[in-house]
Amino acid sequence: MSKTITVLPGDGIGPEVTDSAVRVLDYLFKKFHHDVHFVKALIGGAAIDAEETPLPQKTIDQCKASDAVLLGAVGGPKWDRQSMTVRPEQGLLGIRKALELFANIRPAKTFAPLIDASPLKREYVTSVDFVIVRELTGGLYFGKPSERRGPHKEDVVDTLAYSRYEIERVVDKAFQMAEKRRKKLTSVDKANVLESSRMWREVVTEKAQDYPDVEVNHALVDSTAMQLIRNPSQFDVIVTENMFGDILSDEASVITGSLGMLPSASLRTDKLGLYEPVHGSAPDIAGQGKANPLATILSAAFLLRYSLDLDKEAELIETAVQRVLEQGYHTPDLQVNAAQTTSVNTAEMTDQVIAAIAAQIPEQV
């Protein structure tokens, strides 16, 4: 049966990096005769320019009708200067909400050739391998809009609101991930101050009964920010509120050497998911062929694994990325440790990844 991937290139380097990932996916689909096709749709600043809204209804409809969504990045100075009422970021938040993508998976795993690029000492980062599960459709990002601005414009309110089921479903996802990994879950909150965090803790403690093999720790978000730098390899799965997860995942991204390497998956209960690099739209380097496509290519591997059940193909991509780095290929943002290093542009990096995938597939006779 034919499957559809909606591609939302967005702004800045978004179009370049999604083009790269689509080339890699297309190569694999042809090679293994999978009937998958791509449809593009508008989001972010590009959608504001064309349709005066960061998230046109037809983009939502198109995403809902597809099997997976691949997104580049949104935003840039062009739209920052406009009135604050319409912003590219609303497109991103809107599509997450419209598709009910409540669990955002952001891994931080060391790539051996990049270790020296980490701002932390080598011995702290060699065995880093953890996943942040960030709640994505509630919490501080989605307080009731009607309550946000007081009548006198002197009062402003952002509410951190959760319903119990919203916490339960993301915590369940995190426990399931922990079960398949090293069976360690750190639930991050601010229970010494916030009521919502106290309910979060309650839910985690209750859910822990269903996962007796998983060791659970509760930690405060400020202390976790410190522990991530002090001893990042202690973590396996971290589950947390939307805004806490946003902040901790940026912190986590530099530990492993480059923001340009980190993929993400935004999931819900069925197979439909949205896949995007953790990095932003990098408008300063857009259109120059300098963008590192690896985070988006690795996001495409997640897409294969979580939405299309193509685990073998996902692994081919992940191994290929590893090999390309070991061979010393790097975009300008990467500091790679190899006997010989070669600086490449976005398209050449993509060619190298495809070649490294091809090298793993035995010749057909």
Catalytic positions are 141, 190, 222, 246, 250
Number of other CB atoms surrounding residue 346 within 10 Å: 22
Query: What strand order describes the sheet that includes 68-73?
Result: 36-40, 3-10, 68-73, 273-277, 263-267, 103-109, 129-135, 237-240, 184-189, 215-220
Number of other CB atoms surrounding residue 240 within 10 Å: 28
- Identify which of residues 259 and 336 has a Cβ nearer to Mg ion in the complex: 259
Q: Number of residues in contact with ligand IPM, rule: CB under 6 A?
A: 4
Q: Note whether 55 and 47 are within 8 A (CB).
A: yes
- Identify which of residues 85 and 340 has a Cβ nearer to ligand IPM in the complex: 85
Residue 163, SS3? Answer: coil
Place of tokens 């057909």: 364
CA distance 14 to 318: 21
Q: Establish if 135 lies at the interface with ligand IPM (CB under 6 A).
A: no
CB of 140 to Mg ion, least distance (A): 13
Q: Which does 92 bind (CB under 5 to 8 A by kind): Mg ion, ligand IPM, none?
A: ligand IPM
Structure tokens at 333: 């943002």
**Interface region with ligand IPM, contact rule CB under 6 A, candidates 41-49, 85-93, 217-225, 340-348:** 85-93
Q: Taking the CA atoms of the chain, what radius of gyration do you get in angstroms?
A: 20
Structure tokens at 18: 């999604």
Q: Establish if 246 lies at the interface with ligand IPM (CB under 6 A).
A: yes
Q: For the chain, percent helix, then strand, then coil, each to nearest 5?
A: 45, 20, 35
Q: Establish if 158 lies at the interface with ligand IPM (CB under 6 A).
A: no
**Interface region with Mg ion, contact rule CB under 5 A, candidates 171-179, 239-247, 299-307, 342-350:** 239-247
Q: Establish if 89 lies at the interface with ligand IPM (CB under 6 A).
A: yes
DSSP 293: -
- Identify which of residues 41 and 93 has a Cβ nearer to ligand IPM in the complex: 93
Site string for Mg ion, 188-217 (x = CB under 5 A): ------------------------------
Q: Establish if 246 lies at the interface with Mg ion (CB under 5 A).
A: yes
- Identify which of residues 42 and 136 has a Cβ nearer to Mg ion in the complex: 136
Conformation bin of residue 287: beta by default, left when phi > 0, alpha when psi is -120 to 50: left
Site string for ligand IPM, 190-229 (x = CB under 6 A): ----------------------------------------
C-alpha dihedral, 352 to 296 to 57 to 158, nearest 10°: -160
CB of 58 to ligand IPM, least distance (A): 22
Q: Which does 310 bind (CB under 5 to 8 A by kind): ligand IPM, Mg ion, none?
A: none
Among 55, 92, 216, 267, binds ligand IPM (CB under 6 A): 92
CB of 93 to ligand IPM, least distance (A): 6
- Identify which of residues 189 and 246 has a Cβ nearer to ligand IPM in the complex: 246
Q: In the chain, which ranges are E strands? A: 3-10, 36-40, 68-73, 103-109, 129-135, 184-189, 215-220, 237-240, 263-267, 273-277, 329-330, 342-343
Q: Which amino acid is it at 42? A: L
**Interface region with ligand IPM, contact rule CB under 6 A, candidates 14-22, 89-97, 178-186, 296-304:** 89-97
Residues that bind ligand IPM (CB under 6 A): 89, 92-93, 246
Residues that bind Mg ion (CB under 5 A): 246
